[in-house]
């Protein structure tokens, strides 16, 4: 049981990471929240896909393959940079205890979607544009899995919304910051996608936006939750975020230029 409080707001919550049990098997809130985010994002894409040139049947294929490979790669990514956290080989498979790196998940989802689109002869760039809002929806919801696990919080703060975990000093609720950043990105993306001039622009905006937020939010995290590329200097996610910002801008420019060349 975790006691999570917002002292200055007068809010105290007692949260059991276990939602319920089926026989002797515990079902964790973390897993339920991740699954909820997945289905919420997939359903949004499903109901908006055909209008944007992607068949509804393809949405579930892309979502399912992306989810499976995304979870695998998210775990591999995390494990590779946090080997000291695991006492045995079997601990690697206990994803319900947390330890999924979103960039690894995104890499896995992109790989599976590229393969699927090649096999089905579908435009990957258009499919990525159509699916981008679903990614932000899933990420905005999924971050609350960190909340129920009382993990991935920030440095100490005196701000009114400082969050105390099990009686500790108030810290930045970084998971809320990232969730709100994703919601804002979703709004901007939805406003922009009807004005896009080339396939791939929406997805590139997603990569840029998420990476921009992550490069700052990563620096606000408690150091216990930073996977370091250079110890106590540079987090691996900050380095990947910097690359994501560059890739998003460059990709947007390339997609736009290709369209202009085609029109000319």
Please state the residue numbers annotated as binding site: 143
The burial of 238, by beta-carbon neighbours within 10 Å (0-12 exposed, 13-18 middle, 19 or more buried), is given as buried
- Bridging pattern class, strands 11-15 and 18-22: unpaired
Q: Are 101 and 152 in contact (CB under 8 A)?
A: no
CA distance 102 to 75: 9
Please tell me whether residue 144 adopts helix, strand or coil conformation: helix
Kindly report the length of the chain: 264
CA distance 197 to 175: 34
- Bridging pattern class, strands 164-165 and 2-6: antiparallel
Q: Are 141 and 37 in contact (CB under 8 A)?
A: yes
CA distance 208 to 185: 10
Strand partners, 228: 235
Of 236, 221, 202, the closest CA to residue 78 belongs to 236
């Amino acid at each position: 049981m975790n006691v999570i409080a917002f002292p200055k707001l007068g809010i105290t919550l007692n949260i059991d990471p276990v939602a319920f049990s089926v026989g002797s098997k515990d079902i964790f809130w973390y897993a339920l929240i991740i699954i909820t985010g997945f289905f919420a994002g997939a359903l949004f894409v499903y109901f908006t896909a055909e209008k944007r040139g992607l068949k509804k049947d393809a949405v579930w294929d892309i979502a399912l393959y992306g989810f499976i490979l995304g979870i695998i790669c998210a775990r591999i990514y995390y494990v590779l940079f946090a080997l000291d956290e695991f006492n045995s080989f079997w601990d690697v498979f206990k994803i319900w205890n947390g330890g999924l790196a979103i960039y690894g998940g995104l890499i896995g989802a992109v790989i599976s979607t590229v393969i699927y689109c090649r096999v089905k002869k579908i435009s990957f760039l258009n499919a990525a544009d159509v699916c981008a809002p679903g990614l932000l929806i899933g990420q905005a919801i999924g971050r609350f899995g960190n909340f129920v696990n009382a993990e991935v919080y920030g440095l100490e703060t005196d701000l009114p919304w400082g969050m105390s975990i099990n009686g500790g000093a108030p810290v930045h609720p970084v998971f809320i910051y990232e969730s709100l950043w994703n919601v804002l990105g979703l709004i901007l993306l939805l406003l922009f996608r009807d004005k896009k001039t080339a396939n791939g622009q929406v997805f590139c905006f997603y990569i840029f936006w998420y990476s921009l937020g992550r490069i700052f939010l990563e620096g606000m995290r408690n150091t216990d939750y930073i996977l370091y590329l250079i110890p106590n200097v540079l987090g691996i996610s900050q380095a990947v975020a910097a690359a994501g910002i560059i890739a998003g801008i460059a990709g947007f420019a390339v997609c736009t230029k290709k369209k202009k060349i085609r029109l000319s």
